[in-house]
Amino acid sequence: MGVDRPDDSDVPSFADGGSDRSGRSPSDAPAGVDPPDSHAEVRARCEYYESLRADAWDEPADGRKAGLCVSAARPARGDIPPEPAARFGDSATLPAWGDDPPEAPAGSRVSAETSHAIAPDVSAETSSRDSRESQESWDEAAERFRAAWAEHRTRWPDGERQPVDRSGDPPGSWRGESGRYLDNAANAEVEKRCDRIAEVEQNVISPAMREIEACDPSRRLVGFEHRLKGQDRIKDKVAADMEEKGRTATEALLMVKDIIRYTFVYTDESYTSSVRADLTRMEARGFQEVERRNTWSEEQYKGINSRWRDHDTGQLFEVQFHTDLSFEAKQLTHCVYERIRSPGTGRAELRELRQLQGNTCRQIPIPPDASTIQDYLSENA
């Protein structure tokens, strides 16, 4: 299947005291970013569409299934405020506000005020206790990993990298830190297509993903500011593919699966049902799922990675589905992943690295029924 993990330079990290899992408060919002009221308005619009769909659950004329919360028809671009422009590898931080939980509908059988009086919420207490125990167990595993990684690097230190010589390269060409090279024509082609991809991301895909996010305040998009892959990393992959597979720059660029990528993070308890709901919402929004890989049963990486195609533009993008702890583990162990991927890593070190990563990832709790979300591969992949 081969859904790529993001590169180390493109992902946020909790190890250096960065943003926590709860997101940022509205008071932290930078100038020029819409306040949380805009998210509430989107969610209100979503709920309106859902109420209409409850009255008339007809399949749209184009054959797409009506989804929950978001409308099956794509709204006109003029009706959606554009996301703040993101550059490839942009490090500007955008807030991730949550919404207040919806009020109980009028006439519901048991009101919110009386429900706790009728029966104590034992399941909530148990869930909270299990979450605390899982977090404590993970914190201990994370400390063991840091100690083992520090010890590993004393025995296999990072090799000193010689400066890349670009003195003989013609103007307009590109050479990366790996030494891989794109001539003037290939470099110009990659940059032109990256500009087009950024336009589609800003005007089409990200507004839709924000609307989908607003449908369920119990989970959130994380690392949204890193939704575009760094352009140097893209060029390095393109150059490698051209060199090794003989592809053109355009063909090689199409093989980079995660130029645009998003990550949803869920609670363990709601993970399976909420992921299924989001898959339905994305299909209703006009996105076609190309492939999905569930790796919760594997040792080296926990989560679900998927690739999607926008119906109107044909643009591919990646969506990952994580729990809080599986996302933290991915961030924490990315240094190991990069060392495993390096062509200079020897067999003895490789065995130790895989054992180190596996020992750490085994400490991540698997959400209930996560294995029931099956792998998928479209015939058009």
- 306 phi, psi to nearest 5 deg: -140, 155
Number of domains in the chain: 1
211 token code pair: 């609307």
Range of the domain at 278: 1-14+138-153+172-381
**Does the residue 164 lie in any domain?**
no
pLDDT digits (tens, 9 = 90+) for 170-222: 999 999 988 899 999 999 999 999 999 999 999 999 999 999 999 999 999 99
Q: Is residue 10 in a domain? A: yes
Q: pLDDT digit string (tens) for 32-52? A: 444 444 445 545 555 544 554
Cβ atoms 69, 47 nearer than 8 A:
yes
Given pLDDT bands bounded at 50, 70 and 90, which one contains residue 297? very high
Residues 6 or more apart in contact with residue 269 via CB below 8 angstroms: 127, 367, 368
Please report whether residue 290 resides in a domain: yes
86 part of a folded domain: no
* Per-residue pLDDT at 363: 93
The pLDDT of residue 284 is: 96
CATH number of the domain bearing residue 296: 3.30.460.10
pLDDT of residue 341: 81
In a domain, 73, yes or no: no
- Report which secondary-structure segment, H or E, holds 262: strand 261-266
Q: Does residue 80 carry a pLDDT above 90?
A: no
- Whether 260 maps to a domain, the answer reads yes
DSSP bridge pairs for 292 = 306, 376
Residue range 317-330: mean pLDDT, rounded: 97
More confident residue, 15 or 351: 351
Mean pLDDT across 253-261? 92
In a domain, residue 222? The reply is yes
Residue 127 lies in a domain: no
